[in-house]
Amino acid sequence: MRRRGAIGTAVTAAFAVAALVGACGAPAGPSSASPTMPSVPPLTSAPATGGTGDAVPTEPSTAPGTPAPTAAKWQAFKTPDGKLQFEYPAEWTVKDRGAEAAAGAVFLEVLNPHGKSLATLRTNVPTTSECSPRIPYSVLDLVPVPALAQQGATPHFIFELRLYPAEKDPMKANIMAYGLSSAPKPSGPDACPIHQFFTWPPGGASFGGVYNPFDTTPGNEPNIDTPEAYLDTAEYQNIRKMITSLRPAGQ
Protein backbone atom coordinates (compact mmCIF):
# COMPACT_ATOMS: atom_id res chain seq x y z
CA MET A 1 0.00 0.00 0.00
CA ARG A 2 1.21 3.52 -0.70
CA ARG A 3 1.92 6.11 1.95
CA ARG A 4 1.32 9.72 0.96
CA GLY A 5 4.08 11.35 2.92
CA ALA A 6 2.95 14.86 3.82
CA ILE A 7 0.23 14.02 6.31
CA GLY A 8 1.61 10.62 7.21
CA THR A 9 4.78 12.14 8.64
CA ALA A 10 2.69 14.29 10.95
CA VAL A 11 0.34 11.57 12.07
CA THR A 12 2.26 8.26 12.04
CA ALA A 13 3.04 8.34 15.77
CA ALA A 14 0.62 11.10 16.63
CA PHE A 15 -2.96 10.01 16.07
CA ALA A 16 -5.15 8.69 18.85
CA VAL A 17 -8.92 8.44 18.88
CA ALA A 18 -10.68 10.53 21.51
CA ALA A 19 -14.24 10.52 20.23
CA LEU A 20 -15.06 6.83 20.55
CA VAL A 21 -18.07 6.80 22.82
CA GLY A 22 -20.71 4.44 24.11
CA ALA A 23 -23.94 3.66 22.33
CA CYS A 24 -25.95 6.49 23.87
CA GLY A 25 -23.26 8.58 25.54
CA ALA A 26 -21.66 11.84 24.56
CA PRO A 27 -18.16 12.11 23.03
CA ALA A 28 -15.28 12.01 25.46
CA GLY A 29 -14.46 15.48 26.73
CA PRO A 30 -11.04 17.15 26.81
CA SER A 31 -9.09 18.44 29.74
CA SER A 32 -9.87 21.95 30.96
CA ALA A 33 -7.07 23.36 28.79
CA SER A 34 -8.50 21.89 25.60
CA PRO A 35 -11.22 22.96 23.14
CA THR A 36 -14.55 21.18 22.97
CA MET A 37 -14.10 17.75 21.44
CA PRO A 38 -15.89 16.87 18.21
CA SER A 39 -19.22 15.15 17.84
CA VAL A 40 -18.95 12.07 15.63
CA PRO A 41 -20.97 8.88 15.27
CA PRO A 42 -20.22 6.52 18.19
CA LEU A 43 -18.34 3.25 17.79
CA THR A 44 -17.80 0.45 20.27
CA SER A 45 -14.09 -0.26 19.73
CA ALA A 46 -11.80 0.73 22.59
CA PRO A 47 -9.42 3.63 21.87
CA ALA A 48 -5.65 3.21 21.87
CA THR A 49 -2.90 5.54 22.98
CA GLY A 50 -0.24 7.28 20.93
CA GLY A 51 2.09 10.28 20.93
CA THR A 52 1.31 13.91 20.24
CA GLY A 53 1.27 15.31 16.70
CA ASP A 54 2.16 18.32 14.58
CA ALA A 55 0.11 20.49 12.26
CA VAL A 56 -0.99 18.95 8.97
CA PRO A 57 -1.85 20.39 5.55
CA THR A 58 -5.44 21.42 4.87
CA GLU A 59 -5.94 19.82 1.45
CA PRO A 60 -6.12 16.16 0.39
CA SER A 61 -2.97 14.70 -1.12
CA THR A 62 -2.97 14.36 -4.89
CA ALA A 63 -0.19 11.77 -5.06
CA PRO A 64 -1.06 8.82 -7.31
CA GLY A 65 -1.85 5.48 -5.79
CA THR A 66 -3.67 2.22 -6.37
CA PRO A 67 -6.59 1.71 -3.99
CA ALA A 68 -7.42 -1.89 -3.12
CA PRO A 69 -10.48 -3.33 -4.90
CA THR A 70 -13.77 -3.32 -3.03
CA ALA A 71 -15.59 -6.47 -1.95
CA ALA A 72 -16.85 -8.73 -4.74
CA LYS A 73 -20.26 -9.44 -3.20
CA TRP A 74 -22.60 -6.80 -1.80
CA GLN A 75 -26.10 -6.88 -0.39
CA ALA A 76 -28.75 -4.27 0.32
CA PHE A 77 -30.08 -3.22 3.71
CA LYS A 78 -33.20 -1.15 4.36
CA THR A 79 -33.48 0.69 7.67
CA PRO A 80 -36.17 -0.60 10.06
CA ASP A 81 -38.30 2.51 9.47
CA GLY A 82 -38.24 1.76 5.73
CA LYS A 83 -36.95 5.22 4.79
CA LEU A 84 -33.28 4.66 3.89
CA GLN A 85 -31.23 1.91 2.29
CA PHE A 86 -27.59 1.18 1.54
CA GLU A 87 -25.31 -1.58 0.27
CA TYR A 88 -22.63 -3.29 2.32
CA PRO A 89 -20.14 -6.16 1.81
CA ALA A 90 -21.84 -9.53 2.26
CA GLU A 91 -19.22 -10.63 4.80
CA TRP A 92 -20.02 -7.69 7.09
CA THR A 93 -22.85 -7.61 9.63
CA VAL A 94 -25.46 -4.93 10.27
CA LYS A 95 -26.55 -4.96 13.92
CA ASP A 96 -29.85 -3.32 14.86
CA ARG A 97 -29.37 -1.35 18.07
CA GLY A 98 -32.69 0.46 17.87
CA ALA A 99 -33.58 -0.54 21.43
CA GLU A 100 -30.82 1.86 22.56
CA ALA A 101 -32.13 4.78 20.50
CA ALA A 102 -34.91 7.28 21.07
CA ALA A 103 -38.44 6.24 20.15
CA GLY A 104 -38.84 6.09 16.37
CA ALA A 105 -35.13 6.55 15.70
CA VAL A 106 -32.85 4.22 13.75
CA PHE A 107 -29.58 3.01 15.28
CA LEU A 108 -27.53 0.52 13.24
CA GLU A 109 -23.93 -0.61 13.66
CA VAL A 110 -21.86 -2.17 10.86
CA LEU A 111 -19.18 -4.67 11.90
CA ASN A 112 -16.59 -6.69 10.01
CA PRO A 113 -16.23 -10.49 10.44
CA HIS A 114 -13.87 -9.96 13.39
CA GLY A 115 -16.34 -7.76 15.27
CA LYS A 116 -14.63 -4.46 14.49
CA SER A 117 -17.11 -1.58 14.47
CA LEU A 118 -16.76 0.27 11.16
CA ALA A 119 -19.68 2.70 11.13
CA THR A 120 -22.98 3.58 12.75
CA LEU A 121 -26.14 4.92 11.14
CA ARG A 122 -28.50 6.97 13.29
CA THR A 123 -31.57 9.08 12.58
CA ASN A 124 -33.44 11.68 14.63
CA VAL A 125 -30.19 13.12 15.96
CA PRO A 126 -29.55 16.74 17.03
CA THR A 127 -27.62 18.79 14.50
CA THR A 128 -26.62 21.83 16.53
CA SER A 129 -22.92 22.36 17.18
CA GLU A 130 -20.49 24.98 18.40
CA CYS A 131 -17.68 26.40 16.29
CA SER A 132 -15.36 27.72 18.95
CA PRO A 133 -12.47 27.64 19.06
CA ARG A 134 -11.41 26.93 15.49
CA ILE A 135 -8.58 24.42 15.18
CA PRO A 136 -6.07 23.03 12.61
CA TYR A 137 -7.53 20.44 10.26
CA SER A 138 -6.98 18.30 7.18
CA VAL A 139 -9.45 16.97 4.60
CA LEU A 140 -8.32 13.57 3.32
CA ASP A 141 -11.28 12.62 1.12
CA LEU A 142 -14.46 14.34 -0.09
CA VAL A 143 -17.28 12.87 -2.21
CA PRO A 144 -20.71 14.45 -2.88
CA VAL A 145 -23.77 12.28 -2.20
CA PRO A 146 -26.55 13.81 -4.35
CA ALA A 147 -29.08 11.08 -3.54
CA LEU A 148 -29.44 12.58 -0.05
CA ALA A 149 -29.94 16.18 -1.15
CA GLN A 150 -32.47 18.06 0.97
CA GLN A 151 -33.83 21.57 0.38
CA GLY A 152 -31.34 22.14 -2.43
CA ALA A 153 -28.31 21.20 -0.30
CA THR A 154 -26.20 18.15 -1.21
CA PRO A 155 -24.33 16.40 1.63
CA HIS A 156 -20.92 14.84 1.13
CA PHE A 157 -18.86 11.99 2.46
CA ILE A 158 -15.79 13.41 4.18
CA PHE A 159 -12.72 11.88 5.83
CA GLU A 160 -11.13 14.55 8.01
CA LEU A 161 -8.74 15.27 10.85
CA ARG A 162 -8.69 17.80 13.67
CA LEU A 163 -5.54 18.58 15.67
CA TYR A 164 -5.73 19.77 19.28
CA PRO A 165 -2.16 21.07 19.87
CA ALA A 166 -2.86 22.18 23.46
CA GLU A 167 -4.17 18.76 24.50
CA LYS A 168 -1.59 16.93 26.62
CA ASP A 169 -3.49 13.65 26.63
CA PRO A 170 -2.49 11.79 23.43
CA MET A 171 -5.89 10.10 23.51
CA LYS A 172 -7.46 13.47 22.72
CA ALA A 173 -4.78 15.27 20.70
CA ASN A 174 -5.92 14.16 17.24
CA ILE A 175 -9.34 13.18 15.91
CA MET A 176 -9.87 11.37 12.60
CA ALA A 177 -13.39 10.62 11.39
CA TYR A 178 -15.27 9.74 8.21
CA GLY A 179 -18.95 10.09 7.45
CA LEU A 180 -21.73 12.09 5.83
CA SER A 181 -21.99 15.81 6.46
CA SER A 182 -24.15 18.68 5.26
CA ALA A 183 -21.69 21.25 6.60
CA PRO A 184 -19.61 23.25 4.10
CA LYS A 185 -16.15 21.88 3.35
CA PRO A 186 -13.59 23.39 5.75
CA SER A 187 -11.48 26.17 4.26
CA GLY A 188 -8.69 28.46 5.40
CA PRO A 189 -6.12 27.67 8.10
CA ASP A 190 -8.55 26.26 10.68
CA ALA A 191 -12.02 24.76 11.07
CA CYS A 192 -14.82 23.97 13.50
CA PRO A 193 -14.62 20.77 15.55
CA ILE A 194 -15.84 17.71 13.64
CA HIS A 195 -19.62 17.49 13.56
CA GLN A 196 -20.61 14.90 10.97
CA PHE A 197 -24.36 14.99 10.56
CA PHE A 198 -26.50 15.47 7.47
CA THR A 199 -29.96 16.93 7.00
CA TRP A 200 -32.68 14.27 7.07
CA PRO A 201 -36.29 14.56 8.26
CA PRO A 202 -37.29 15.35 10.92
CA GLY A 203 -33.94 16.95 11.74
CA GLY A 204 -30.69 15.15 11.13
CA ALA A 205 -28.96 11.79 10.73
CA SER A 206 -25.42 10.43 10.87
CA PHE A 207 -23.61 7.63 9.05
CA GLY A 208 -19.90 7.31 9.74
CA GLY A 209 -17.20 6.31 12.16
CA VAL A 210 -13.80 7.04 13.66
CA TYR A 211 -10.45 5.91 12.26
CA ASN A 212 -7.93 4.56 14.79
CA PRO A 213 -4.58 3.48 13.24
CA PHE A 214 -3.63 1.76 16.50
CA ASP A 215 -6.65 -0.55 16.48
CA THR A 216 -5.51 -4.14 17.04
CA THR A 217 -8.60 -6.04 15.90
CA PRO A 218 -7.56 -9.36 14.29
CA GLY A 219 -7.62 -9.24 10.50
CA ASN A 220 -6.40 -5.66 10.14
CA GLU A 221 -4.03 -5.15 7.22
CA PRO A 222 -0.39 -4.97 8.39
CA ASN A 223 1.78 -1.86 8.19
CA ILE A 224 -1.16 0.53 7.86
CA ASP A 225 -0.22 3.16 10.41
CA THR A 226 -1.00 6.42 8.60
CA PRO A 227 -4.29 7.79 7.26
CA GLU A 228 -2.77 8.02 3.78
CA ALA A 229 -2.02 4.31 3.76
CA TYR A 230 -5.48 3.58 5.16
CA LEU A 231 -7.12 5.43 2.24
CA ASP A 232 -5.94 2.70 -0.13
CA THR A 233 -7.00 -0.30 1.96
CA ALA A 234 -9.90 -2.53 1.03
CA GLU A 235 -11.51 -1.72 4.38
CA TYR A 236 -11.60 2.02 3.73
CA GLN A 237 -12.69 1.62 0.12
CA ASN A 238 -15.54 -0.63 1.26
CA ILE A 239 -16.56 1.80 4.01
CA ARG A 240 -16.53 4.69 1.55
CA LYS A 241 -18.60 2.77 -1.01
CA MET A 242 -21.07 1.66 1.66
CA ILE A 243 -21.62 5.09 3.19
CA THR A 244 -21.91 6.86 -0.17
CA SER A 245 -24.51 4.29 -1.28
CA LEU A 246 -26.97 5.56 1.34
CA ARG A 247 -30.13 6.89 -0.29
CA PRO A 248 -33.90 7.11 0.21
CA ALA A 249 -35.47 3.65 0.10
CA GLY A 250 -36.68 2.66 -3.34
CA GLN A 251 -34.22 4.80 -5.29
Task: Find out whether 160 and 143 touch, Cβ atoms under 8 Å.
Answer: no
Average pLDDT of 222-228? 84
Please write down the long-range contacts of 222-227, taking CB distance under 8 Å and 24 or more positions apart: 223/1, 224/1, 225/12, 226/3, 226/4, 226/7, 226/8, 226/11, 226/12, 227/7, 227/8, 227/11, 227/15, 227/140, 227/159, 227/161, 227/176
Whether the per-residue pLDDT at 122 is higher than 90: the answer is yes
Residue 159's pLDDT is 98
- For 7, phi then psi, to 5°, come to -80, -35
Q: What is the pLDDT of residue 131?
A: 86
pLDDT at 6: 39
90 or 64, which is more confident:
90
pLDDT at 165: 85
pLDDT (0 to 100) of residue 63: 43
Mean pLDDT of 158-183: 88
Domain ranges of the chain: 5-248
Is the pLDDT confidence value at 30 over 60? Answer: no
pLDDT > 60? residue 21: no
pLDDT value at 54 more than 90: no
153 has pLDDT over 80 = yes
Q: What percent of the chain has pLDDT over 70?
A: 73
Q: Is the confidence at residue 34, as pLDDT, over 50?
A: no
DSSP characters for 10-62?
A: HHTTT--------SSSPPPP--TTSPPPPB-----SPP----------SS---
pLDDT in tens, 7-18: 443 333 333 333
Name the band, by pLDDT with cuts 50, 70 and 90, for residue 240. very high
pLDDT confidence bin for 39, thresholds 50/70/90: very low
* Average pLDDT for 44-61: 38
Q: How confident is the model at residue 223 (pLDDT cuts 50, 70, 90)?
A: confident
pLDDT for 1 beyond 60: no
Question: How high is the pLDDT of residue 65?
Answer: 64
Burial class (CB in 10 A: 0-12, 13-18, 19+), 105: middle
Least confident interval from 64-78, 86-100, 162-176: 162-176
What is residue 81's predicted lDDT score, i.e. its pLDDT? 96
pLDDT at 82: 97
Beta bridge partners of 94: 110
